[in-house]
């Protein structure tokens, strides 16, 4: 569903198991991601996306 958005905007969402989810945005080598947001609630993650 969000695959095209991820590819266009350089976004990665990781499932961290019992710790929740991480949304990583805008990867810039060699420094890494410019923005990282963590979510413990999948509904909040869905609304953010």
Question: Measuring CA to CA, which residue among 3, 27, 23, 6 is closest to residue 14?
Answer: 23
Dihedral-angle region of residue 3 (phi above 0 means left; psi in -120 to 50 means alpha; beta otherwise): alpha
Q: What is the value of pTM for the model shown?
A: 0.69
pLDDT, tens digit, for every residue of 15-39? 999 999 999 888 888 888 888 999 9
Q: Where are the domains of the chain?
A: 3-48
Q: For residue 6, what pLDDT is reported?
A: 56
3-class state of residue 48 by DSSP: helix
Q: For residue 21, what pLDDT is reported?
A: 92
Q: Are strands 11-15 and 32-39 parallel, antiparallel or unpaired?
A: unpaired
């Amino acid at each position: 569903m969000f695959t095209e958005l991820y590819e266009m905007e350089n976004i990665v969402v990781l499932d961290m198991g019992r710790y929740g989810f991480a949304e990583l945005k805008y990867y810039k080598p060699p420094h890494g991601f410019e923005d990282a947001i963590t979510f413990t609630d999948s509904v909040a993650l869905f609304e953010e996306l």
